[in-house]
Structures are given as structure tokens and as C-alpha cells.
Amino acid sequence: MEFKPGRVFLLRVPEGEDLVSFVNGFAEGRGINTAIVKGIGSLRNPVLGYYSEEIRNYKRIELMGMFELVSLLGNVSLRDGRPFAHLHATLGNANGDAFGGHLIRGEVFVAEIYIQELLGKPLVRKDRGKNLSLWDEEHV
């Protein structure tokens, strides 16, 4: 799919917000259907997901305590007619060890995020079974 760049936002997410819910709410509030999301900061008690083909579902990785949000990368597209953020995160502990995966939730201590809106026909996610919700377009 081809898009044109739309609005660009760079902002600090308020402390205590769940990062995934915040991005969903921000996109909905600004009428953003499709976007690229990036960010850095730190999160409390984040929960990551690892998609297991074996169980056809996400295995939850629950981390306790404060973690550096070394890297947040993802996108926004439409699911059931509403903006849906798909975010992946690399998280670092006090020893510099890294954990990574699909970000299910994480309470913001600090989060500086970048949202690049993309204009064009919105990307739409559809339920594909196996607990996967994927885009229609597999190639351009």
C-alpha cells in the first residue's frame, strides 16, 4: 500500500497511562487511521507477548518492576472500524539485559513517542483465526 505523509506528533505520554491504550485513544481522538509509531522511555510492570505457532496464541511474558523502554516500534491500522496500535518493544533491566516482544501493556513512567500519520486508503486488520488479526494486503 502506498501512503502520503500526514500529521506528525512528538509527545510525552502522561505518567501512569497504559502505553498501548494511550496510543489507541490518541489515534482515535485525532482521527488517525494509519500511522507509524516509535518511542523511548521507561515502563513499569510491562507485559510482552510471544506468538507461539504451537498453541496458536500469545504466550504472556510478565515483567515486574521498572524497565527502560529501549525501543518502541509499531503501527496503527483499523480493526473493527477503530484505530488499533500494534506495538513491539525492547525493554532493558538494571543489568542492561534486554527482553523483547509484542507489547500487551505497560504502565508509563516516561514515554516520548513519535506518531507519523499516513494518508490514503486505511489499512484494515481482519481476524484470520489462530488469534491473529492481519492486514489484507500481503504485497503491493
C-alpha count within 13 angstroms, C-beta hemisphere, residue 65? 7
Report in angstroms the alpha-carbon separations of 84 from 55, 127, 133. 24, 13, 11
Which residues from 11-30 bind Zn ion, rule CB under 5 A? none
Total of residues contacting Zn ion (CB under 5 A): 1
Q: Which three cell numbers stand for residue 108?
A: 508509563
Q: Is 102 in the site for Zn ion (CB under 5 A)?
A: yes
For Zn ion, the closer of residues 102 and 111 by Cβ is 102
To Zn ion, the closest distance from the beta carbon of 51 in angstroms equals 7
Taking a C-beta distance cutoff of 8 angstroms, is the pair 24, 84 a contact? yes
CB atoms within 10 A of CB 45: 13
Interaction between residue 79 and Zn ion (CB under 5 A): no
Question: What are the C-alpha distances in Å from 23 to residues 27, 32, 89, 95, 108?
Answer: 6, 10, 14, 29, 12
Minimum distance, C-beta of residue 78 to Zn ion, in the bound complex (Å):
16
Stretch of residues binding Zn ion (CB under 5 A), selected from 13-21, 37-45, 56-64, 98-106: 98-106
Q: Give the range of 5-13, 60-68, 76-84, 100-108 binding Zn ion by CB under 5 A.
A: 100-108
Stretch that binds Zn ion, among 1-9, 61-69, 101-109, 128-136 (CB under 5 A): 101-109
Instruction: Count Cβ neighbours within 10 Å for each residue of 123-135 and write b for 16 or more, e otherwise.
Output: bbbeeeeeeebeb
Of residues 79 and 102, the one with the C-beta less far from Zn ion: 102
Which residues sit at the interface with Zn ion, rule CB under 5 A? 102
